[in-house]
Amino acid sequence: MKKRSKLPNGFGCIKKLSGNRKKPYAAYPTSQTGGNATQLYPTRAIGYYEDWYSAYNAIVEFRKSLQPGSVSAATFTDIYHAFFNAKFVESRKQLSARSRMDYASAYKNVPSLHQMNFCAIRKHHMQKALDECTLGYSSLSNIKKLYSQMYKYAMENDIVEKNYAQFVTISQENDIEKGEPFTQEDIDKLWAHKKDPAARIVLMMIYSGFRISAYETIEVNVEEQYFKGGVKTRAGKNRVVPFHRSIIPFAKSFRPKKFNGDAFRRHEFYPLLKKLDILYSSSGKKHTPHDCRHTFSWLCDKYSVDDLSKHMLMGHSLGSDVEKSVYGHRTVEELRMEINKIDSEAFLNSQKAAAHSTN
């Protein structure tokens, strides 16, 4: 077997990984800075290959892409893949599938940048790509986050010297927390279609008050009949919300591991609302899944759920209210009594109609 030549100093290295792998050769490139070899990816490979020579060629092409003024300079896509690999493949941190999906979606939502030389990208390029995205504030926020993370990665690895992402802004109003609740008439329509699996989930969201992303990891305690979970804030995480009596069968059959918030929003939530003619609020604003949480808040107020219980059920911070923060407590059963103050007349009517039809 022909002995391979030693790689030049500062070129990089190729490691054959242990175990029975289809692509055992990992390629690690380096860059030259001030005449001294500094490793671009100290512990991160740019790819894995079936043989040594394929790994070698990958390093050659990667190094070419980083040469100043090169026609084949690394593109936005190249840096994205390198960043994504470093964050989600090589990193030892346990990162959620949702986080992976958010970054991947953000990348797909800025197609005009994909083939641009990363080193040539400026603030106005990124701003234009973000402004051209017609999605909501949450999606725009993820794009801005992707920009920041990619530039952080690029600066750590001497690919760029200035972070232009810091100057990008989101002009759209933050609609994540703002919204409008569904009306009682809207809720009645949902109950009238309770056999529809999508309607069941929307009703479950309305009568429990969690953000849509929380349902991907929420704990469903069937025996004691409560949800446990939450996202975003310290007060909101790992809170307990008893099943409202009207959604017990929906909650018992819900499987968080099979639920994907983004997929549900696109393929089930909006088509269902359109079918039931409740896609828009009375003010003409398009409903979002977050409006289910607003509806829960409205129902709590409408049926006089006590203030402390409402804060605990919704995961709100008690802020400077020292008395409630220190001395405010509720047992699961106390919370259950409060949440069941919410009247579900449409649910009860649908139960009576079902019972009548069987007689």
Phi/psi for 150 (5° steps) reads -65, -40
Could you give the domains of the chain?
12-167 (1.10.150.130), 184-358 (1.10.443)
Strand partners, 12: 29
Contacts of 335 (CB under 8 A, 6+ apart): 240, 241, 242, 309, 312, 313
Segments of the chain scoring below 70 in pLDDT: 1-5, 8-10, 30-44, 63-73, 91-92, 94, 172-178, 232-237, 316-328, 344-359
Q: Which pLDDT value is given to residue 170?
A: 80
Q: What is the pLDDT of residues 207-258, one digit of tens each?
A: 999 988 889 889 999 999 999 988 765 545 678 999 999 999 999 999 998 9
From residue 38, how far is each of 9, 11, 28, 35, 84 by CA, in Å?
10, 10, 12, 9, 21
Q: Which pLDDT value is given to residue 174?
A: 55
Q: Which pLDDT value is given to residue 33?
A: 37
Q: How far apart are CA 334 and CA 73, in angstroms?
A: 63
Q: Which pLDDT value is given to residue 346?
A: 55
Q: How far apart are CA 335 and CA 353, in angstroms?
A: 29
Q: How far apart are CA 348 and CA 276, in angstroms?
A: 20
